[in-house]
Each structure stands twice: as C-alpha cells, then as structure tokens.
Amino acid sequence: MFTGNDVIALRQKTGAGVLDCKKALEETNGDMEKAVDYLREKGIAKAAKKASRIAAEGIVAAKIEGNTGVLVEVNCETDFVANGDKYRDFVAGVADYVLKNDVKDADELIEAKKNETIEATATIGEKIAIRRFAKYTASDNGIVESYIHMGGKVGVLVELEGCTCEKAHAAAHDIALQIAAAKPLYLNASEVPQEVLEHEKEILKAQALNEGKPAAIIDRMVEGRVKKYYDEFCLINQLYIKDSSLTIEKYLANESKEMGKTLTIKRFTRFEMGEGLEKRNDDFAAEVEAQMKK
C-alpha cells in the first residue's frame, strides 16, 4: 500500500494536511500521482497553498433565534470576495452552526468547519479563515440584540436583563448602536482589570509631572483623569450618543422607569472586522511580473 514516508512526500507536494494525505493514499491504493489528483479534485491541495496568505478582510455577522444570539467574524483576503454571495453564505452557515451547537471555543469551531472551509477556499479562490465568535443565551427575563454596521465592518451583541417586551428590544438596539459607535472596552468600572488601571495611573501621573504640576495636587489630578478614562471606556459611564445630556446609566434608568421594570446590561461583545490582524501589502507590479513569468 503506502508508508509514512509516502504520506510525508505527498504532504510536501501538495501542502495538504497529514490526515488528508493519508486518506488520499488510501483512496488511490498508494498511487502518488493519483493521490495528488485526488487532493486537487477535492480542492484540498489548492486550499492548502492559500493557507499562508493574509486574510484580514471579511465580515462580522450575527444571528438570533429566540433568546440566543451569536456574533462571528470570518476573514478573507479582499473586499471583493467579502461582498460576494458565496462567501456570505459560508459565513451565515458558520453563524448557524454556532447557534445550533455547543461550541467551546474558536479552535473547536475551526476544526468542526474544517472541510467546509477547505471547500469554500477552493471554490471562492481566496483563503477563508474563521477567526472568532461570541454566543449569548439570555434568561427567560432577558433578551439578546445584535447590530451590524457598514455591511459587516462592525458587529455588536448585547444582552439585557429585566424585560422581554418590545420597548426593551428597542432599548437594547439603542445600546448596541452605542457600543458600535463609542467603542467601550468594559461594561463598568469594576470590570477594568487592576493591572490596566495601574498602568493608566502611571501614564497619567507621568503626564501631570511633565506638565509641571505641583506634586501636592498630582494625586487629585490622576483621580480626575481616571474618572475620564471610565467615562470614555466604560459603557454605562459613556454619554448617550442620541442625547449627550444623559449617560447610558441614566438612559437605562429612564427607560426602566417608563416600563416599570429594571433593565440592566448583562454583557456585550463588539467585533471590528480585521482589528489586530496583519493587513495585505500588495505590490501590483511585482504580482504582474510574477504572473508573466508563469
């Protein structure tokens, strides 16, 4: 039949995974050339060659059923593909899978959708990469709301507790808009990690010293600037984008009073497509020259 060295040789020829190479050799009775054709026909060899490419474009998508909602980010290489129906159908399938299954983390999701990702990469012609997801299931007295901005450039998932009425959904939508626009990092001050806070205080203290402020008032200045940090990065402290006379905390209090229910924000996730990823740096002339040499 075939040996481990044959598997290694096939992997080196095609760039496909070990298990895929083993299966290809099994299906072709150890015939190396037929195994290469098998992998190409399946799109696996073609997809593997794209694995080293940079996939920093794509979309964020959301799906909600009942009191459960998911947010996913799937990356590709270009905006052109990101706007295509085949790619968006694949992303929708990923969101649906997360919604209907108990998925532990991104690695588990990537593994579960491995074959479909390979097929999509081969069909679409660009590297496709599942990056991350969030999934919330609210209690019987809570709701999950999503918001997608600019066709998938930014996505938000937010969970509210206290009421499931139409007005609560409207409030949750407004909160999701707030999160998309104002980019909070934390729900409230208690969520800010101590190491982040201490680092921020050190920076603020250095700024005050560099401004030549008297040592006696620096601590008070730092306290004031820490409050400004909370106001900027903690959701409930932020000024409401639709009415800057209110903070989000006050806005929720007003909505709660009108409903006769106490609305609270339980948690939120904000994905900005491609944040933190290495971007493509295309050299068009070099690409043309490379294609001509082929």
pTM score, whole prediction: 0.78
pLDDT of residue 123: 87
pLDDT of residue 122: 84
pLDDT of residue 40: 74
Q: Are 69 and 146 in contact (CB under 8 A)?
A: yes
pLDDT of residue 125: 86
Alpha helices in 50-193 (DSSP H): 79-82, 85-100, 106-112, 114-124, 166-182
pLDDT of residue 30: 93
pLDDT of residue 285: 47
Residue ranges of the chain whose pLDDT lies below 70: 43, 45-52, 280-294
Model pLDDT for residues 22-42, shown as the tens digit of each residue: 999 999 999 998 888 888 777
Q: Would you state the structure tokens that stand for residue 70, as one six-digit string?
A: 């998911």
pLDDT of residue 280: 60
HSE, side-chain direction, 13 A CA sphere, residue 238: 20
Q: Would you state the structure tokens that stand for residue 60, as one six-digit string?
A: 């964020």
- Confirm whether 4-49 and 57-187+266-272 share one CATH topology: no
Question: What fold, for 57-187+266-272?
Answer: Tetrahydropterin Synthase; Chain A (3.30.479)
pLDDT of residue 292: 39
Q: Would you state the structure tokens that stand for residue 216, as one six-digit string?
A: 């006696």
Residue among 148, 157, 168 nearest 258 (CA): 168
Domain map of the chain by residue range?
4-49, 57-187+266-272
pLDDT of residue 48: 62
Beta pairing, strands 142-149 & 154-161:
antiparallel
Q: Would you state the structure tokens that stand for residue 194, as one six-digit string?
A: 């101590």
Q: Which CATH class is domain 4-49?
A: mainly alpha
d(CA 202, CA 100): 46
d(CA 27, CA 115): 17
